[in-house]
Amino acid sequence: MNADGQDVQRLTFTAGGDSWHPAAHPFKEEIVFESGPVGGEDLYIIDFAGGNLRKIANAGSRKRMPAISPDGKKIVYVGYAGGGGRQHQEIFIMDYDGSNIVQLTDNPEEKDSHPAFSPDGKYIVYAAGIRDSDDIIIMNIDGTDKRKLTSSPQEKDWDPFFLCQPQEP
């Protein structure tokens, strides 16, 4: 749709599954999103007109919640490293074309989810926790220097992201 909410257009038609968690590329007229039946989601790219649909990252594991780096070169996402169970959600990063997949977290007893890049592309934030308690963690984009930003024994703190005020050139 346009920025004013006009000219709404449907881009996906997924039989037997849902399409969600869209992320717009910062420079290309493309959207990365997850699609598929629950338990079998994967990542896809589609152009703004709804054409050129293609699956990326054919690694065979469930992939969800993509976010694109500010330079448009990387995608961070939630992958299911432990056989698909909710407690085995981990954070992965790959090149925009789906190559060079790297697992950034390794917390089999926790669920790591909802990753987002910092505006400068140097950090990734994500939610991590056990059962009903999530905290916000920040790390370098290579997975090093993980730091807990919140401590919430009962409440959920998920869907972390950065807000920034763009400066005029």
**Which CATH number do you get for residue 121?**
2.120.10.30
Residues near 164 by Cβ (< 8 Å), separated by ≥ 6? Answer: 119
- 77 forms beta bridges with 92
Mean pLDDT of 31-50: 86
Mean pLDDT of 110-116: 86
Residues near 12 by Cβ (< 8 Å), separated by ≥ 6? Answer: 19, 33, 35, 46, 50, 53
CA distance 161 to 108: 23
In a domain, 87, yes or no: yes
Name the domain count of the chain: 1
| Residue span of the structural domain in which 33 resides | 18-148
Q: What is the pTM of this model?
A: 0.85
In a domain, 25, yes or no: yes
- Determine the pLDDT at residue 2: 82
pLDDT tens, residue by residue, 45-73: 999 888 898 888 766 778 889 999 999 99
In a domain, 155, yes or no: no
In a domain, 69, yes or no: yes
In a domain, 161, yes or no: no
Query: pLDDT band at 11, cuts 50/70/90?
Result: confident
Query: pLDDT band at 112, cuts 50/70/90?
Result: confident
- Determine the pLDDT at residue 164: 63
Higher pLDDT residue, 72 or 24? 72
Query: pLDDT band at 162, cuts 50/70/90?
Result: low
In a domain, 65, yes or no: yes
Higher pLDDT residue, 107 or 83? 107
- Determine the pLDDT at residue 85: 47
Percent of the chain's residues with pLDDT above 90: 36
In a domain, 164, yes or no: no
Q: Let me know if 127 is exposed, middle or buried by CB neighbors in 10 A (0-12, 13-18, 19+).
A: buried
User: Which residue type sits at 40?
Assistant: G
Mean pLDDT of the residues in the chain? 82
In a domain, 98, yes or no: yes
Query: pLDDT band at 9, cuts 50/70/90?
Result: confident
Higher pLDDT residue, 53 or 157? 53
Point out the least confidently predicted range of 34-38, 50-54, 104-108. Answer: 34-38
